[in-house]
């Protein structure tokens, strides 16, 4: 995560290093980086102190799980949250990337996922 934040800052992309904005709190107009599993919890209303996704007026970068054992577990966690709330589950990392893009957000993936062709 540190490398991700450093690379964004090197590209002059302002980043708020906080899990997610809180309700009723003013924030500077910075971009937000959030793991997909946390984004799903926020979007489905599981974090009571979090600001709604729609209230964020700047760019949201959503981190797609890696295609390794830890990433597979994160995908299972995401799908559990979604299925518990009657949402369709993801069957692949590409589906997550497509959902992120459809929401108008920017997916953040690992170089190995792009090189392998697993994600386009």
Q: What is the pLDDT of residues 51-63, one digit of tens each?
A: 888 888 888 999 8
What stretch of H or E contains 31?
strand 31-35
The set of residues, in sequence order, having a beta carbon less than 8 Å from that of 73 and lying 6+ positions away, is none
Total-model pTM: 0.79
Q: How far apart are the first and last CA of the chain?
A: 22
Give the structural domain span for 47: 2-116
Q: Decide: 32 and 50 in contact? Cβ < 8 Å.
A: no
* pLDDT tens per residue across all 120 residues of the chain: 567 777 877 888 777 766 788 888 887 777 888 889 999 998 887 778 888 888 888 889 998 998 888 889 999 999 999 999 999 999 999 999 999 999 999 998 887 777 777 778
Domain count, the chain: 1
């Amino acid at each position: 995560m540190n490398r991700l934040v450093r690379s964004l800052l090197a590209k002059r992309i302002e980043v708020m290093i906080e899990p997610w904005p809180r309700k009723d709190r003013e924030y500077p107009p910075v971009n937000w980086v959030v793991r997909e599993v946390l984004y799903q919890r926020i979007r489905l209303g599981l974090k009571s102190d979090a600001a709604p996704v729609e209230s964020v007026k700047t760019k949201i970068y959503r981190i797609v799980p890696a295609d390794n054992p830890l990433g597979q577990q994160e995908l299972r966690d995401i799908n559990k949250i979604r299925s518990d709330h009657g949402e369709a589950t993801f069957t692949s990392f590409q589906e997550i990337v497509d959902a992120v893009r459809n929401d108008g957000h920017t997916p953040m993936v690992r170089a190995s996922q792009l090189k392998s062709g697993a994600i386009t």
